[in-house]
Chain A
Amino acid sequence: MPQMTHAVTRLPDEQLAPMIAHYEVAVRERQRHTLIVAAVVTVCIVLAAWMGEVKPAVLFANSDRLANYFWSITPVLRWDSLGADLAEWYWNLDHWLKLLLDTLLIAYLGTLFGAIGGFILCFLASANLVKNPLIRLTARRFLEFCRTVPELVFALLFVVAFGLGAMPGVLALAIHTMGALGKLFAEVVENIDMKPVEGATAAGASWTQMVRFAVVPQVFSNFASYGLLRFEVNVREASIMGFVGAGGIGQDLVEAIRKFYYSDVSAILVLIILTVMLIDLATEAVRHRLLGWEEQR
């Protein structure tokens, strides 16, 4: 086999020297930059650790407690008496399934009402449909407020105003969903093809007719897809609404955790995780069909 030859060109030294010098300056600049960032982050960590009362010693001293905790909530399942053990683990299954249904309904109603609110407001918040900046900015600020305040804070307030139960949970989810979806919807609306809008306006359509016949057909499948995505999020959120007394399975979970009903904790957690996974799979399938449908058109 003939030996392969490599020709490596090397620049003369006098040309190379300024390039090397330039390279070194650039590297030094980068290193200085990295050092500054590292220093700032370190200072932040120290400050935050002091503020956050971080005690690694406590964590290490109690790390066996964490392991113990997970060991305690693990149900006793023996192979030869599996049926009976499962029945004992899920002794309260009927009740929990009812609460789970409530949780799903809270998520559904919250998503539905929130989506309706977001649907109405998103057109007012879109720069290409509303020329009046006052209306547009008011709608935007309102949506921003609705999504910045956490659901649970709304739920806390509403529990006092509306009383315990599922209703404050539904309203809290609906308001937060309205803020989140309204923003996403408005972004979709701002990216539409403006030709149908011009066509409808030119043919003498009023603003609502223009929105109905020129905008909605373009954005509907995207809206549905975002709505389904939000439903997934809301199922998770609805499962903790019970922490503040706003209905759903969270109520039983928080009680089980606080009162150390160990096997109940794992039973409810497994139920919630399974439900969330199932809902995720189902909505993902529907969303793929929606997107496929969109591409066919």
Chain B
Amino acid sequence: MNRARIALTPQDRERLARAHPQILTPGAGARVRALLLVTFLAALAAFGLWRLDISLARVGTGLAQLGHFIVLMLPPDPGTQLPLYIHALGETLAIAFLGTLGGALVAFPFGFLAAKNVIPNIFAHFAVRRFLDTVRGVDKLIWALIFVTVVGLGPFAGILAIATSSFAELGKLFSEAVEALDRKPVEGVVSTGGSPAEAVRFGMLPQVLPVLASQLLYYFESNARQSTIVGIVGAGGLGLHLAEQIRVLEWQKVSFLILMMLVMVAVIDFISSRLRFAIIGKSRIG
């Protein structure tokens, strides 16, 4: 094979630079702006590190400590607590399932209330949206703490916390799904003599339900992760035991609990992505 190796001489390069100045010498303005941005980000990071008292020395000693813990974690071992942990796993699943479902049930009517094409009144629409935003602005863990003070310690508080924040998030998503409705099926039902109820049943619901169901499954996945941590504030599930075992430095149990969480999340992701494919078809999931 015949290969020619081409080397650019300095003269060639200069000629090219003159011919295409915009490519070979990028604008000074863009460079300065990029540099300023990087300097700003770095300065902010330096300020943060100083204010939060983070130093390499502290990171080093901490990492050594952490390495020690990881050695102690192996192998994962539940000791005699296995039945207790299985029960906690069940609680976690129950929190995720009932929290998602309960939130969705309340969110369903709100989804219609917050949709522009159902309630044209701009004030009602605005008020419902802001209400949902406010509920969403409060983290699940804060809701869990509040519900622990209301219904006492245990998984029921976790269910209520997950339901409350899922309600706000799903309400917003549902309203968007309702707003994206295609009017044509509704008009079609009405034009063939359908009553308004039939128009909702046969014109709207078939469009909304698959979207809602897939969002619901997606939230179930995410809530399964969240429900493992509501226990940290006493709202039941695996998090309760995890926080306890970390406090008493039982590292083998800690790693076993983390392993349980990972397996549970992986299994739920697998099942729910299968169900989502079955509901809305593989092609429509981005």
Contact = CB atoms under 8 A, between A and B. Distances in A.
Interface of A: 44-45, 47-49, 51-55, 58-59, 62, 65-66, 69, 101-102, 105-106, 108-109, 112, 145, 148-150, 152-153, 156-158, 160-163, 165-168, 170-171, 236-237, 239-240, 243-244, 247, 253-254, 257-258, 269, 272-273, 276-277
Given A45-B101, A150-B225, A170-B54, A158 B156 contact: no
B151 to A, nearest CB: 5
B156 A257 contact: no
Given A149-B258, A150-B226, A109 B69 contact: no
Contacts of A54: 98, 156, 159
Interface stretch (B57-65, B112-120, B176-184, B194-202): B57-65
B129 to A, nearest CB: 12
A163 B53 CA distance: 12
Contacts of B150: 62, 65-66, 69
Interface in B254-286: 254, 258, 261-262, 265-266
Interface centre among A51, A171, A253, by most chain B C-beta atoms within 10 angstroms, is A51
Contacts of A108: 44-45, 48
A148 B62 contact: no
Contacts of A158: 62, 66
A243 B233 contact: yes
Given A69-B146, A277-B133, A109 B49 contact: yes
A281 to B, nearest CB: 11
- The A interface is mostly helix, strand or loop, or mixed, namely helix
B232 A152 contact: yes
A92 B47 CA distance: 24
27 contacts: A44-B97, A51-B87, A55-B151, A58-B156, A62-B150, A65-B150, A108-B44, A108-B45, A148-B265, A150-B228, A153-B229, A157-B246, A157-B254, A160-B65, A160-B249, A161-B62, A161-B69, A162-B58, A162-B62, A162-B66, A163-B58, A166-B53, A166-B54, A236-B137, A243-B232, A247-B52, A277-B133
Contacts of B53: 165-167
B145 interface: yes
B243 interface: yes
A106 B97 CA distance: 32
Q: Which 6 pairs of residues, A with B, have the shortest CB-CB distance?
A: A52-B94, A162-B62, A48-B94, A273-B137, A166-B52, A51-B94
Nearest to B266: A148
Interface centre among B53, B94, B101, by most chain A C-beta atoms within 10 angstroms, is B94
B52 A59 contact: no
B34 to A, nearest CB: 10
B137 A276 contact: yes
Nearest to B265: A148
B65 A161 contact: yes
